[in-house]
Amino acid sequence: MEPFIKKIQQINTIEGAIAELKTQIEITPKLDEVINFSIGAHKEQFRKSGEPYVVHPILVASIAARFSNDEDIVATALLHDVVEDTKYHLDFIRDKWGDNVAHMVDGLTKIVEIREHEKVSSKESNSKLLSSALTFRKMLVASIDDVRVLVVKLCDRLHNLMTLDALDRQKQISIAEETLVVYVPIAHRLGISSIKNALEDLSFYYIYPKEYEKI
């Protein structure tokens, strides 16, 4: 998994991201259409690192494709931020790519909504932050009726951890700590040990950088 992570971390262009996705899954006409749509939908958006935002969903799709050759899971990964971050609505996705993809995209959008509802300021005590994270995890698991949604979310969180260098130190620690409390146990429960281990290693790197280097 580590060589794969290092390779993903070095990709910051749309062309590079698509090339990586092609190494993980055959690009069917449906996936080709979704890729082009996603590029257009996110064309005015950029990440804090300065790279085109669409690089993120394409690489999340690449990670998802590494664990599943389900075309709809990969399509969902490509579309996972569309409803939240662009002008397109869920009905558009349903009309274009069917109920299955729309259902998963809706599940991922609900996760964002749940997180916003449970968000606690970083100024709160550690116990309050931990309590909020645990509540978020319980609500997340209880509200998602399709395990594939959780798989895509884990891939999304994994790529976010791979690209934390663009954020400030406090934000890095906050995301890494939430990952350990919320997403690592879900990966463990789903039996995806490679994602679980990668999430733990990357979180440890940001929370305890000196100890990480020693090890």
Q: Using the Cα atoms of residue 147, residue 79, residue 67 and residue 205 in order, give the sign of their dihedral.
A: negative
Phi, psi of 25 (to 5 degrees): -155, 150
What pLDDT, on the 0 to 100 scale, is given for residue 117? 66
What pLDDT, on the 0 to 100 scale, is given for residue 48? 87
Q: In sequence order, which residues have a C-beta less than 8 Å from that of residue 43 and are 6 or more positions away? A: 52, 54
What pLDDT, on the 0 to 100 scale, is given for residue 131? 78
Q: Using the Cα atoms of residue 103, residue 116, residue 61 and residue 63 in order, give the sign of their dihedral.
A: negative
What pLDDT, on the 0 to 100 scale, is given for residue 122? 47
What pLDDT, on the 0 to 100 scale, is given for residue 121? 46
Tokens representing 108?
């991922």
The catalytic residue positions are 84-85
Confirm if 205 and 172 have CB atoms less than 8 A apart.
no
pLDDT under 50: residue ranges of the chain: 120-122
